[in-house]
Amino acid sequence: MALVIAEQVRKVYHSGETEVEALKGVNFRIDSGSFVSFVGPSGSGKTTLLNLIGCLDAPSAGTLTVADTDVATLDRTSGAAFRGQQIGFIFQDFNLLPVLSVFENVEYPLLMVKKTSEAERRERVMALLAAVGMTEQAIKRPDQISGGQKQRVAVARALVTNPKLVLADEPTANLDHETAFMVINLMKQMRDQFGTTFIFSTHDPRIVGEAEVIHCLEDGILKGTELKGGAA
């Protein structure tokens, strides 16, 4: 079953009188539970596409449906609610809140977005921290843990609301090779454990191969799709 359907999706940015077409009519489908990557050089449109799928931006033309919702119909408030319910985010720079502990960072979406009971929150956060191997660091602040650990916390935070889809824009860009692999494997492991769809972008050829479906972008055009073993 398709979780994300893109039909002739275009995105044009305006900068003064200059018009930049970041996506030039992209078509693709992403099935639920898949582990997908968008690859391509810088400026190929990966981040733009992930922003559109993440309902952080709206396409200039075409239709983009995420979890049966046309993202163009969402306004600021409904977009936030939709993201909070359906989508988790993992950022290149981890983007953990520095004033909150590891536990509280993971707990944050349940507090502010999903309004979950305390007992349920605690159970869910601890389960996820255990799943990403961060239980021991639960009370530490982000500045007290390493980059790889921060990204693990970010993975746990992205999954805590039990979203259908997790988007990760260059999640390993700030990590060394070994840690990058560890994080990608963790994401895959989470997909296996929770059935969540993962879409990540990268231009790192060393971790591209870890994806099951690879969409290649170049100059805003989807040049090809590669299916690897295990992909439907």
Partner 1 sequence: MGNIIKIAIRNLLRYKRRTALTATLVTLGVVFVLVFTSIAGSFKNMMIGQITDSMLGHLQIHRKGYVAAIESLPLNMNIKQAGYQKLEAILKQEQGIVAYSPRIKFGAMFSNFMETTNIRLNGVDPQQEFATVPLLPDRIVSGSKTLKKGQILVPELLAKGMNVKVGDTVVVVATNQSGSVNGKQFVIGGILESATGPGGRDGYIHFDDAVELLRMEQPEISEIAVRIKDFGKLHKLEKRLKAAVTAERNTLGAPLFELHSWEELSPFAKIAKMLNLMTVFIKAMLIAIVLISIMNVMIMAVFERIREIGTIAAIGTPPATIRTLFLVEGLCLGLFGALVGNLVGIGIVLIVNLMKLTFSFGQQTGLVLKAAIAPSDIIMVSLIVVVVSVLATLQPALKASKMEPIDALRHV
Binding site for partner 1 (CB under 8 A): 51, 54, 56-57, 76-77, 80-85, 87-89, 91, 93, 95, 97-100, 108-109, 111-113, 157-158, 161
Identify which of residues 1 and 99 has a Cβ nearer to partner 1 in the complex.
99
Identify which of residues 105 and 208 has a Cβ nearer to partner 1 in the complex.
105
Contacts of 138-145 spanning 24+ positions with Cβ under 8 A? 138/101, 138/102, 138/103, 139/101, 139/102, 139/103, 140/101, 140/102, 141/98, 141/99, 141/100, 141/101, 141/102, 142/94, 142/96, 142/97, 142/98, 142/100, 142/102, 142/105, 143/98, 145/102
CA distances to 21, 77, 107, 138 from 199, rounded to whole Å, are 22, 24, 22, 27
Identify which of residues 25 and 84 has a Cβ nearer to partner 1 in the complex.
84
| CB of 48 vs partner 1, minimal distance in Å | 10
Tokens coding 129: 């921290």
| CB of 76 vs partner 1, minimal distance in Å | 6
Identify which of residues 142 and 208 has a Cβ nearer to partner 1 in the complex.
142
| CB of 227 vs partner 1, minimal distance in Å | 29
Q: What's the distance, Cα to Cα, between the start and end of the chain in Å?
A: 10
| CB of 65 vs partner 1, minimal distance in Å | 19
| CB of 117 vs partner 1, minimal distance in Å | 13
